[in-house]
Each structure stands twice: as structure tokens, then as C-alpha cells.
Amino acid sequence: MNSLIFRSIIKIVSPILMLFSVYLLLRGHQLPGGGFIAGLMTSAGLVLIYLAYGCERFDWRHRSRFFYFLFTSGLTISFLTGLAGLFWGGFFLKSGFAHVHMPLINEDWEFASAAVFDFGVYLVVCGVCVSLMTMLGEEE
């Protein structure tokens, strides 16, 4: 798998995938996208890098803790969003949103609590997928 062509393609494709996944995450509330899709896309990008380069550029083997940290913190963030709903909204996972006027670009931006929740989902999906792949990759 670590042929030159593959590597060169990955070099270009992976960053695009990552950026695109962030875009998908942010627009999830309005257009197709959201935490699951973005998480899967990010992990697809990371897995491609892993397949192409193995442990040359980045030693995945000793970073697995980082991915565990990713999904546990994702769970925590989602749970805390739920708790916030309990405090301010009256019941667990109550969501809310607000429109804020941005001074410089002169636009109305929407901030929704669901976006934070979705970010938690994103972290969980991403962490789980990548730790799964690296765990399997370390088997030899």
C-alpha cells in the first residue's frame, strides 16, 4: 500500500478531507453533515495517512492514549451539554440556540447548544475509529 502514487495522492487528499470534515461538522444543523459524518470523514483521512505511511511520520503506537482521550472527552462534552440543559432548560439534554450579530462581517451567526453536543459526538466517532484502526495495525 505504501506505493509512491498512493502516498502522493494521500498527501493531497487527506488535508482536504480533514478540512472538509470540519466544514461538514459546522453546517450539520442546516445542511447535510453533522457529528457522525464529520467524525467518520476525519477518521477516514487519518486512516488513509496511516495506511500510506505507517509509522514513518507519526508513531501511532504510542499515541493510542491520545485517541482514548479523544473519545472519553467526547462523551464528557456531550454529557455536560445535557447537564447544561438540565440547569438552564429544565430537563436533561434540553437544547437552545441564539443568533448573534457578528460585527466585522456584518452577518447573523447562529450558536446552538446542539452544535456542542454534536462536537462531542464527532470526538467520540473520531476517537473510536482511529483507535480501532491503530489497535488492529499494531497486531503483528
Which member of 58, 72, 80, 86 binds other proteins (CB under 8 A)? 72
Map residue 87 onto helix, strand or coil: helix
Question: Are 7 and 94 a contacting pair, CB within 8 Å?
Answer: no
Comparing CB distances to other proteins, the nearer of 10 and 114 is 114
Separation between Cα atoms, residue 78 and residue 72, nearest integer Å: 10
Separation between Cα atoms, residue 5 and residue 72, nearest integer Å: 36
Question: Are 98 and 106 a contacting pair, CB within 8 Å?
Answer: no
Expressed in percent and rounded to 5, the helix, strand and coil fractions of the chain are 70, 10, 20
Map residue 132 onto helix, strand or coil: helix
Which member of 52, 79, 83, 109 binds other proteins (CB under 8 A)? 79
Which member of 6, 40, 53, 54 binds other proteins (CB under 8 A)? 40
136: contact with other proteins by CB under 8 A: yes
Minimum distance from residue 44 beta carbon to other proteins (Å): 6
106: contact with other proteins by CB under 8 A: no
78: contact with other proteins by CB under 8 A: yes
Residues at the interface with other proteins (CB under 8 A)? 24, 28-37, 40-41, 43-44, 47, 51, 71-72, 74-75, 78-79, 82, 92-93, 95, 97, 99, 110, 112, 114, 117-118, 120-121, 124-125, 127-129, 131-133, 135-137, 139
